[in-house]
A and B are shown apart, each in its own frame.
Chain A
Amino acid sequence: MDLSIKLIVFLPLLAAMIAGLGGRMIGKMPAKLVTTGALFLSCFLSWPIFFGFLTGSNAETVVPVLDFINSGDLSVDWALRVDTLTAVMLVVVTTVSSLVHLYSWGYMEEDPSQPRFFAYLSLFTFAMLMLVTADSLVQMFFGWEGVGLASYLLIGFWYHKPSANAAAIKAFVVNRVGDFGFSLGIFGAFLVFGTVSIPAILAAAPDMAGSTIGFAGMRVDTLTLICLLLFVGAMGKSAQLGLHTWLPDAMEGPTPVSALIHAATMVTAGVFMVCRLSPLFETSQHALDVVTYVGAATAIFAATVGTVQNDIKRVIAYSTCSQLGYMFFAAGVGAYGAAMFHLFTHAFFKALLFLGAGSVIHAMHHEQDMRFYGGLRKKIPLTFWAMMAGTLAITGVGVIGVFGFAGFYSKDAILESAFAAGTTPGGVAFFIGILAALLTSFYSWRLVFLTFFGKARWAGSEHIQHAVHHVHEDESEMAADHDSAHDHDVKAVEGTAGYHPHESPWTMLVPLGVLALGAVFAGFGFHHHFFGEEGTAFWAGSLAFDEHLVHAAHEVPLWVKLAPGLVMLTGLAIAYQNYIRDPDAPRRFVEHFSGLHNFLMHKWYFDELYHVLFVKPALWLGRVLWKRGDEQTIDRFGPHGAATVVGLGNKLTARLQSGYVYSYALVMLLGLIAAASWAFWWAR
């Protein structure tokens, strides 16, 4: 297994280097072949490892690679750790990544810098694999920042677009705010435990229970402090409320990127971290409560915003944010198995939804606004059915005890655990989760109805008009660039404008098909292992699996079990009523409740608030410190003041000719000689 682990992790790096550095030399096709081939190889090597853990024939291994940092007690190695938790992430990452690579053959067909794109994708995969195989917090941080870099590069891939650049920087900087917490958490963990090795910290954590530590002048509970600092990092990466603002903007990147990074893998790193460190989090009830509340708040916040978005990708982005909230509150109530289960199923159906959306965007000539879609069901039937599979999975359609789509198992497991936990945070999270499930169902079906049903409304789209009337120059760069908050006055015009959408090529359809299989069967196939009777054996100590909670979750009252299905149907009914039966209803609703609509349209005004609170003051302060601080205070009383005192004066300084340079040098030299001679004389 050791060799295949190394290959899984380092093949993508090798491929990224070949495609990235040699892309110009070897050309487009070889670069695509190398990266995609490497990823499929990684993927084929990962599944046997996962099945090995599933059947219990594999045991935890750590493959050492190289020394990294050694400084006194602080010793970090490059090492690849694989246990059940990692194996789950390995299959998720390599599967989605290889499919996204393949999908990009079709989606990025016309882009001039494909080698660069594929190199970034593979580089991202490498960093993500380093993150999930980390044996120490420092290596996890390496992967953490590595995926951040790849995300930055890919969001800003179309670097001519100012909006893409702004989004890329925003993603990096907001993530850095999270990393600020993560770093301090690592420092604190090292201070307390004397090591940054994850297994050593988890082993030592229970002994530290109840200890206190000084932090910024306060005395606080040691373990709560460390957990919360680390959790700030998780909030940044997983776009939780407060640090979520970068994720919707990240949709500026090409759609395959959104599927891979901003849905299936990178954004789940925070959930992975909390699960990986679950024995540590288990030592601090306060920290877990915070995780629960933040997760629940994010779930509902993002779901509300998702209901009013018009950009198809932004709807799915907010949906991702909301689903991540579910995963966090699952972890917060101690149901780590359920959190990982939802992470697993979500990876399939959310990647599917994004790639499906990409296929729609491809068919609609880079139009992303759903108000210009409609009636696409017959035109792109395969994409339609793939999207249907994803929608059935995310809304959690299924019949108890018979069969359900992926989300049916994992989301229900989360909601039932939250209820079964019996704590106040658990109860709050349960009811918020139910409400968010209603909204999830509503916005997901709204998306489907607006896109695939009703009459064609393509005529109003500039992109479609372009496609029909002009030969466009640089197609890929014309991807829609709306800020949904500022385009109220778009007029949807019915009609096809003579445009003929066509189904995507096989390179894009095959990944959709594979992921659709996952969205249909991933829940049914694995729920016994992830969050069922076989959980303890399956996880084998790689996360804090609570058997009692699983039992309790399976024995919740019937109404709790039925509630998710009920709200799902309610959401579907509302969406059906408003977007199929009475398409004019949303407009009337908006007119009636314009305040609420504005509030949601502006995403609860987070961006505006942060701009006023952080961005503007930072720039203002920078200018003040520079002009008033450096130039008018320090320089005035420092060097210029000194000049005045010694009689040189500013006027004289200004009049100095370059000839004086030599005089000064001479003065310095003479000074040196004088000092030396004086020393000689003194010592004589």
Chain B
Amino acid sequence: MEFPILSILILLPLVAGIAVLFMGANAARWTALLTTLACFVLGIVLWANYQIGGPRWQFVEYAEFAQGALVPAWALGIDGIALMLIMLSVFLMPICIGASWRAIQNRVPEYMAAFLLMEALMIGVFAAQDLMLFYIFFEGGLIPMYLIIGIWGGVEKIKAAYKFFLYTLAGSVLMLVAMLYMVLTAGTSFIPDLMAYDFAPGVQWWLWLAFFASFAVKMPMWPVHTWLPDAHVQAPTAGSVILAGVLLKMGGYGFVRFSLPMFPDASADFVPLVFGLSGIAVVYTSLVALVQKDMKKLIAYSSVAHMAFVTFGLFAFNRQGIEGALVVMLSHGLVSGALFLCVGVIYDRLHTREIARYGGLADNMPGYALLFLLFTMASVGLPGTSGFVGEFLALVGTYEMSSWGAIVATTGIILGAAYMLWLYWRICYGTQKNADAAAMPDLDKREWLLLAPIAAVVMWMGVYPESFLAPMRDDVGLLLERLETAAPEGDAHLTEGDPSAAAAEAEHHEDAHAAGEAAQ
């Protein structure tokens, strides 16, 4: 048997998570940091050994606990898409631990345990090949997140945790019912088999809607997004990073892994619904972001707008759209994570998220201003940063499907620039109004270590995205093959011109010149 690297990636943080419960605060911090770093190293090993162009599912593991289709089997295996999302998770985790180093002072062992448990579950979500196993990881991930918000959160943490709980629970109940039906109908809970199983078109509708209920909440899509701003605002910095960085990606991953390949016909039928909701989300949440007075809330609303690019791209049913959506997921994970860290940096100093309390930070925190600018630009999709590549591809794909969709989605680049630059102005530029804000020291070594790696990857993905696209290329190709028969036609309907009319046009032009010459 091969080295069970995926199992180790899941079990290592799980075991460490239990162990830290019995440690002191400092030991817990170091254990968590070393564990997450070890997972990151394992992730690099995973990426290095992943064969591009090799078998679809790699690092496959299989073990059964008991007989029966509904019994979860320990079936693991990843394709390129899962690989990239696992990389995102293991990359952000040590940064989260680092961000909590000083900010969290009470119940440190429990906090670290929650994060390590979360890491195990996140990796599990992306690695699971069994539907029931996936469900356990997927829903299980809510518990540590819920605890992180509810215990280490801000003033209104209870309300936020409660909202988070209600929304996600409501969605997942429907998904569980659909999953049970699928397993019983298809007779298997093995995801690769289910991805090739053709459900009857009528059934697909209901199954698609049930999954949609869960993924739309996770995404989050308008109008089931209102839990996100509250959850972000109340969560501690690291909680926000992981929430925006990885948890929001589970909705998109769900669409790619389940909705599209398992219910291609229903997916095609629901394109107008998805495009409609995504279009509303882009404009609606961008406008709402414009008037926010709380930094975290602003970035949370911008997340909803950005995730709408993902749903646009995924349901464009073409390569540019889907690859673009996947890159937006990766990029948004990095950029919004970094933006929440940036908020955390100044929150740690002044203990307020109110935008108006800051201003002129470029004076006393030039390093911070530089990095914050970089992430702001990545967020508005400036070419050369990761934000551009994903947005551009997703929008190219969207346009191929629907020009209306592309027009509405592209307004996001105007509004996005407006709210992000205005935020940047109010934080970093202008004159200093408050003595305490003016006295804040620049980034210390720890904070540089947290932000600089993200900045480097954001630039890397922006200049040479091939590194990230290459592993996913074949998987997107297979998905497209699966979708081929169902793919709806775009609204362009390009028709060849009438050559005679074209010639007449040209002649007209010539005439005009001749007339011009004659006029002399």
Binding site for B on A (CB under 8 A): 24, 66-74, 138, 141-142, 145-146, 149, 152, 156, 159-160, 162, 165, 168-169, 172-173, 176-177, 179-180, 183-184, 186-188, 190-192, 208-217, 222, 285, 419-423, 426, 546, 548-549, 551-552, 555-557, 618-619, 621-623, 625-626, 629-631, 634-635, 638-639, 642-643, 653-654, 656-658, 660-661, 664-665, 668-669, 671-672, 675-676, 679-680, 682-684
A305 to B157 alpha-carbon distance, docked (Å): 56
> When the two chains form their complex, are residues B136 and A672 in contact, meaning their CB atoms are under 8 A apart?
yes
Residues on the A chain within 8 Å of B188, using CB: none
Task: Output the least CB separation between B407 and chain A (Å).
Answer: 6
* B 387-425 binary contact with A (CB < 8 Å = 1; else 0): 011001101101110011011001101110110011001
CB-nearest residue of chain A relative to B418? A173
A215 to B366 alpha-carbon distance, docked (Å): 46
Residues on the B chain within 8 Å of A656, using CB: 158, 162
A420 touches which of B413, B414, B506, B517 (Cβ 8 Å): B517
Residues on the B chain within 8 Å of A423, using CB: 512, 515-516
Interface core residue of A73, A176, A184, A208 (most chain B CB under 10 Å): A176
* B 14-45 binary contact with A (CB < 8 Å = 1; else 0): 00000000000000000000000000000000
A185 to B72 alpha-carbon distance, docked (Å): 50
B410 touches which of A180, A211, A626, A671 (Cβ 8 Å): A180
A214 to B407 alpha-carbon distance, docked (Å): 13
> When the two chains form their complex, are residues A552 and B509 in contact, meaning their CB atoms are under 8 A apart?
no
* B 136-151 binary contact with A (CB < 8 Å = 1; else 0): 1001101100110011
A168 to B362 alpha-carbon distance, docked (Å): 16
The interface stretch among B200-208, B242-250, B377-385 is B377-385
Answer yes or no: B519 CB below 8 A from chain A CBs.
yes
> When the two chains form their complex, are residues A212 and B396 in contact, meaning their CB atoms are under 8 A apart?
no
Find residues 276-330 in chain B having any chain A CB closer than 8 Å to their own CB: 284, 287-292, 318-320, 323-324
B407 touches which of A68, A152, A216, A654 (Cβ 8 Å): A216
> When the two chains form their complex, are residues A214 and B491 in contact, meaning their CB atoms are under 8 A apart?
yes
Residues on the A chain within 8 Å of B411, using CB: 180
Number of A-B contacts (CB under 8 A): 287
Binding site for A on B (CB under 8 A): 66-72, 132, 135-136, 139-140, 142-143, 146-147, 150-151, 157-159, 161-163, 165-167, 169-170, 176, 180, 223-224, 226-227, 229, 284, 287-292, 318-320, 323-324, 360, 362, 366, 377, 382-384, 388-389, 392-393, 395-396, 398-400, 403-404, 406-407, 410-411, 413-415, 417-418, 421-422, 425, 428-431, 463-466, 469, 490-499, 501-502, 505-506, 508-509, 512-520
Residues on the A chain within 8 Å of B464, using CB: 66-68
Apart from A146-B384, A159-B428, A676-B72, list 8 A-B contacts with CB within 8 A. Answer: A68-B465, A69-B389, A149-B382, A187-B395, A214-B493, A217-B491, A552-B517, A668-B169
A105 to B366 alpha-carbon distance, docked (Å): 23
The 4 closest A-B pairs by CB, nearest first: A422-B516, A210-B497, A683-B68, A661-B150
Residues on the A chain within 8 Å of B289, using CB: 622
Given A210-B498, A630-B288: A177 in contact with B425 (beta carbons within 8 A) = no
> When the two chains form their complex, are residues A71 and B469 in contact, meaning their CB atoms are under 8 A apart?
yes
Given A69-B465, A683-B69: A209 in contact with B506 (beta carbons within 8 A) = yes
A282 to B150 alpha-carbon distance, docked (Å): 63
- Interface residues of chain A: helix, strand, loop or mixed (majority): helix
A398 to B40 alpha-carbon distance, docked (Å): 71
> When the two chains form their complex, are residues A165 and B429 in contact, meaning their CB atoms are under 8 A apart?
yes
Residues on the A chain within 8 Å of B519, using CB: 420, 422
> When the two chains form their complex, are residues B399 and A638 in contact, meaning their CB atoms are under 8 A apart?
no
Given A145-B382, A656-B158: A183 in contact with B516 (beta carbons within 8 A) = no
A169 to B424 alpha-carbon distance, docked (Å): 10
Residues on the B chain within 8 Å of A675, using CB: 135, 176
Residues on the B chain within 8 Å of A664, using CB: 146, 150, 161-162, 165
CB-nearest residue of chain A relative to B321? A71
Residues on the B chain within 8 Å of A208, using CB: 497
CB-nearest residue of chain B relative to A655? B158
B396 touches which of A74, A159, A169, A658 (Cβ 8 Å): A74
A639 touches which of B162, B366, B403 (Cβ 8 Å): B162
A210 to B504 alpha-carbon distance, docked (Å): 10
Task: Output the least CB separation between A211 and chain B (Å).
Answer: 4
